[in-house]
Amino acid sequence: MIRIEDVSITLGENEVLDGVSASIDEGRFVGLVGPNGAGKTTLLRATNGVLSPDSGRVVVDDDAIADLSSKAASRRVATVPQDTSLSFDFDVRNVVAMGRNPYRTRFGSEIGAKPAGSDGFGGERGTDVVERAMDRTEVSAFADRSITEVSGGERQRVLLARALAQDTPVLLLDEPTASLDINHQVRTFELVRELVADGKTVVAAIHDLNLAAHYCDELLLLADGSVLADGTPTEVLAEETLREAFDTRAVVSRHPVTGSTYVTALPERTAGTDGNGDREDDGSGRVHVIGGGGTVSRLLYLLSAAGHEVSVGVLNEGDSDLETARHLGLETVAEEPFAPIGPEARTAVERRIREADVTVLADVEIGTGNVANLDAAAEAESVVVVEERPFEDRNYAGSEAAVRYRSLRERGTVVSPDDLLSAVADAV
């Protein structure tokens, strides 16, 4: 349906696209992803025929789009631009009805495949299409208001309605959800999925990699004017590829709820380990964290972002902290759900603790379930104890766990969560 054949485009002094090729089948939703300035908008503008490539061509339904008249091109490809500012004072219904222009004669009635009509919106069919487009994008409620008097997000939906009214087999969207609230983001993408199910081919530039991964059939990753990767979201969103494209550290996992490929960008490490995991002399080190029950996610993130090589456990499967740790790409020691710590997990956690420069007890629950963890922690080279609540407040009553906790606490450094990073930095 769309073939992008070796397209190169120079704008001013910039070689913006350099030999881009891609093939997009009918009825697919393809996400165009990549860093700012990669050339996504430019590629969309070459695909709708607004820009003619310096070399190469874009073929839509067997015709080079640049060779078609602008009306003919507009009957094949509709576009929702990134910049949705409109200065003229038309009401919303009229703006949406402009989508019918490619089907109108000079006298305002519809031409070509669409039945002609005589009303101001380009015929009966045109009116139906306009009303349906407004319904689907939920703009009917303010159809009579001026386009200059709607919010940025509403305007974005009006322009989507205009593109739907254009009734084309191909729809191009440039950052379609950039100004939308979370509810309308999801509704817009669900609508796009419906359109795709009806047979439309959609290409959308999308900055949010997780939305792109969740909704798109395929991704095309552009970087510096070239295709760096294309394929399914899982194929494209690989950690190494993301680093190359975006120059940032990211962890790729599966979203625990949706099952989609999920990217978590991490701040650049302020410190790091070398390729062998050995400590560099930069304040980073190996840190093992004991704690769970949903209380340590933030600490895991902070330690990881600070450049430490972090492991965590033993945690039971199903613990949300375990999910977080996996999202962050940390080493984990896990046990079956609700099961006591068995010999295998015990051996694994002891090894992690022995290898660690610091073991952090992160607001550990002082109960029977943690006795094995606390025993393992006795092997630690150095201990930092994070306490959100003062130890004295807890009802530990001299239990087995409390005896172990107290002794670790006595040999370690006790800090509040806010002071964890500096305590760990002192200890490594």
* Residue 53 binds ligand ATP, judged by CB under 6 A: no
Q: Return the range that interacts with ligand ATP (CB under 6 A); candidates 37-45, 71-79, 98-106, 395-403.
A: 37-45
Among 2, 4, 7, 16, binds ligand ATP (CB under 6 A): 16
Our CB check for ligand ATP shows the closer of 30 and 314 to be 30
* Residue 166 binds ligand ATP, judged by CB under 6 A: no
226-231 and 55-60 beta bridge pairing: unpaired
Q: According to CB under 6 A, which residues from 349 to 408 bind ligand ATP?
A: none
Among 36, 85, 87, 395, binds ligand ATP (CB under 6 A): 36
Q: Return the range that interacts with ligand ATP (CB under 6 A); candidates 10-18, 317-325, 331-339, 381-389.
A: 10-18
Tokens of 420: 């964890």
* Residue 40 binds ligand ATP, judged by CB under 6 A: yes
CB of 219 to ligand ATP, least distance (A): 14
* Residue 79 binds ligand ATP, judged by CB under 6 A: no
* Residue 38 binds ligand ATP, judged by CB under 6 A: yes
* Residue 133 binds ligand ATP, judged by CB under 6 A: no
Distance in angstroms (rounded) separating the CA atoms of residues 352 and 16:
49
Q: According to CB under 6 A, which residues from 184 to 223 bind ligand ATP?
A: 205
* Residue 12 binds ligand ATP, judged by CB under 6 A: yes
To the nearest 10 degrees (0 to 180), the angle between helices 152-165 and 182-197 is: 10
* Residue 42 binds ligand ATP, judged by CB under 6 A: yes
Q: Return the range that interacts with ligand ATP (CB under 6 A); candidates 31-39, 64-72, 153-161, 411-419.
A: 31-39
* Residue 50 binds ligand ATP, judged by CB under 6 A: no
* Residue 37 binds ligand ATP, judged by CB under 6 A: yes
- At residue 361's C-alpha, the angle toward residues 357 and 362, to 5°, is 120
Q: Return the range that interacts with ligand ATP (CB under 6 A); candidates 12-20, 22-30, 86-94, 324-332.
A: 12-20
Our CB check for ligand ATP shows the closer of 212 and 341 to be 212
Among 11, 141, 265, 339, binds ligand ATP (CB under 6 A): 11
Q: Return the range that interacts with ligand ATP (CB under 6 A); candidates 33-41, 73-81, 99-107, 322-330.
A: 33-41
* Residue 39 binds ligand ATP, judged by CB under 6 A: yes
- How many residues contact ligand ATP, by CB under 6 A? 13
The residues that touch ligand ATP, with contacts defined as CB under 6 A, are 11-12, 14, 16, 34, 36-42, 205
